Chain A
Amino acid sequence: MYAQMVDTGVKRVQGLDEMSAEERAFQERIDAGIKIEAKDWMPEGYRRTLIRQISQHAHSEIVGQLPEGNWVTRAPSLKRKAILLAKIQDEAGHGLYLYSAAETLGVTRDQVYADLLSGKVKYSSIFNYPTTNWADIGTVGWLVDGAAIMNQIPLCRCSYGPYSRAMVRVCKEESFHQRQGYDLVMTMARGTPEQKQMAQDALNRWWWPALMMFGPPDSDSVHSAQSMQWKIKILSNDELRQKFVDQTVPQAEYLGLTVPDPELKWNEDTGHYDFGEIDWEEFRQVVAGNGPCNRDRLRTRVKAWDDGAWFRDALLAHAEKKSERQVAAAKAA
């Protein structure tokens, strides 16, 4: 889940009888499961919310390259290095693909990217945590990509055509990422005592931030209700989080690793795992810019952009020269 707390700009959700004729027709199409396409009429709030959601997702893919890139030069085998490079390349591709989906809504990639660099628009809180040992690379694939898939599979059915089609493609690659992540953690959990310690340490650090990826509890979110009416959010934060816990706990047990939550236990009555209280203050602080790596992540992207200015300018200068020459040649002919 790479978009969190997406602001819909509304205080409460309107009923069909409160809407204009256009809005009502739009909502009825959505209710009937008909996709909205780029050239269709849409309420301004829908358009703006989607731009925020899709660009936040795109930014997360781009920033998400950094914690994994942190280990690419230290990957312990050539095969693992190749898998990690392929994964990072996929993520950059997802970013580009999602920026294109956002561009169908009338913004440019450079505009939305400038909002990331200025700190105006966020990316997922999860990428503000450090990758400190090699098992983190597997754990990120297992938990972070696992959580992302949980959110994105329903989004394949979302109301906006370009976004839903992007999600179909992204999900296929993400499930490969999750499998390779789990495989990496399994290799370490069954390895030497030092490797097992790394795997447990990684789970200890990533478990709670992974649960926070789904965003604040449903009780705190009016935006969720509007997004769900628009079908750009299909399941609620708490539903997704519960599904994730239910799926992941048995996987951890299979690995022989301990989920760092003393309150975690199977509930026969509900058929779900009960789990402990999430530290929402930590979540709010990380979203507000105070996570362990927020400043580093943004600084790295800003530096890359600034250092690359001469490169991008030169490509433009060359293109201009070339077209001038073509015009001159056409005149001479």
Chain B
Amino acid sequence: MLLDDKSVYLMRLGDNALVLSQRLSEWCGKGPAFEEDMALTNIALDLIGQARMWLSYAGEVEGRGRDEDALAFRRDSHEFTNLLLVEQPNGDYAQTLVRQFFFDAWHQLVLEALRRSSDDRIADIAAKAIKEVAYHLRRSSDLVVRLGDGSAESRRRMQDAVDELWMFTGEMFNADETEELLGAQGLACDPSTLMDAWLAMVSEVFAEATLELPAGEWMQKGGKQGRHGEHLGLLLAEMQFLQRAYPGATW
């Protein structure tokens, strides 16, 4: 059923932005420099704006009366469809940055494709979001270079983060039936087509950063289908606390 596929797809886009925004806002007031505090808050804010647009649209398409907040605060972990990458804990600042870089590089490619979507509203949201994401990517790739090719300690931390997160990158390019179907209709983007461009972008930045692409080929998957790790449940428990504790209240 097309409408179901479409709302599922929109929810994935919204969940990625929402969960990553939530992770970034955990850094609030605790960043390694004032400018970083500001930048992370800024990116978290951009992402939450994008999450709201995707989730509102998902709720409308779904037609069951769920608005952005119903989707954000009253679904359980198995109903969240974000990539496993974005739910990974912040770790040290290197891990936060590498997670961001992997995601930003992918996000930009996805939004570029969605700007040409046959669905006008998807194209509009993508066109708005891509302006923000172009800045996110510029910032994260610049910091990956500077920290990779920085001190011995920063290089080690960055390489550790790359090795830690690599197995969560494969999922970004696995198309499932929903994506294949909507991709064929020109409504969504088939992510398997983005792999080469993403790898080229990452390789180029890593070369300048003196970081190595991990050899490991085994990739985790399942986030998009609602199969998550243990971290997401705790993230949601915190995020959803008030809506769960006081159902029916208006905030």
Complex formed: what's the CA distance from A45 to B107 in Å? 54
Tell me which residues across on chain B come within 8 A of A195, comparing CB atoms.
246, 249
With the chains together, A88 CA to B26 CA distance in Å?
Answer: 13
Q: Given that A88-B41, A317-B154 are contacting pairs, would A78 and B69 also be in contact in the complex, using a CB cutoff of 8 Å? A: yes
Determine whether A300 belongs to the interface, using a CB cutoff of 8 Å to chain B: yes
From B242, which residue of chain A is reached at the shortest CB distance?
A76
A117, CB-defined interface residue at 8 Å? no
Contact A73 B49 (CB under 8 A): no
B215 within 8 A of A: no
Contact A300 B30 (CB under 8 A): yes
Asked if A176 is at the interface (CB within 8 A of a chain B CB), the reply is: no
CB of B25 within 8 Å of the partner chain: yes
Q: Which of A59-111 contact B (CB under 8 A)?
A: 62, 65-66, 68-69, 72-82, 85-86, 88-89, 92-93, 95-96, 99
Interface size class of A (residues with CB under 8 A): 35 or more
Q: Which residue of A has the minimal Cβ distance to B69?
A: A77
Q: Say yes or no for A332: interface residue by CB 8 A criterion.
A: no
A168 to B242, CA, bound (A): 36
Please tell me the number of chain B residues within 8 Å of chain A, measured between CB atoms.
49
Q: Would you give the 0/1 interface string for A306-320, flagging 1 where the beta carbon is closer than 8 Å to chain B?
A: 011111111101100
Q: How far is the CB of A324 from chain B (nearest CB, A)?
A: 12
Name A96's contact: one of B38, B51, B55 (CB within 8 Å): B38
| 0 or 1 for each of B112-128: is its CB under 8 Å from A? (1 = yes) | 00000000000000000
Among A86, A194, A304, the one with the most B-chain Cβ atoms within 10 Å of its Cβ is: A304
Set B30, B49, B55, B153: member contacting A310, Cβ < 8 A:
B153
Query: How far does the alpha carbon of A73 sit from the alpha carbon of B26 in the complex, in Å?
Result: 7
Known A73-B22, A78-B72, A82-B52; contact A187-B29, beta-carbon cutoff 8 A: no
Q: Which residues of A sit under 8 angstroms from B92, Cβ to Cβ?
A: 307
A304 to B37, CA, bound (A): 10
Whether A250 sits at the interface, judged by CB under 8 Å, is no
The residue on B at minimum CB distance from A188 is B251
Which residues of B lie under 8 Å from residue A92 when comparing CB positions?
A: 34, 37-38, 41
A304–B29 alpha-carbon span in the complex (Å): 8
A88-B238 contact given A62-B34, A77-B69, A78-B69, CB 8 Å threshold: no
7 A-B pairs besides A89-B45, A304-B31 with CB distance below 8 A are A77-B243, A85-B41, A85-B44, A192-B246, A192-B248, A317-B151, A318-B150
Binding site for A on B (CB under 8 A): 18, 22, 25-26, 28-38, 41-42, 44-45, 48-49, 51-52, 55, 68-69, 72-73, 92-93, 145-147, 149-151, 153-154, 157, 238-239, 241-243, 246, 248-251
Mind listing 23 A-B residue pairs with CB under 8 Å? Answer: A65-B29, A66-B29, A74-B239, A82-B52, A85-B28, A85-B45, A89-B38, A96-B34, A96-B35, A99-B34, A187-B250, A191-B250, A192-B248, A307-B92, A307-B93, A314-B146, A314-B147, A314-B150, A315-B147, A315-B150, A317-B150, A318-B147, A318-B149
A residues whose Cβ falls under 8 Å from a Cβ of B: 62, 65-66, 68-69, 72-82, 85-86, 88-89, 92-93, 95-96, 99, 134, 187-188, 191-192, 194-195, 300-301, 303-305, 307-315, 317-318, 321
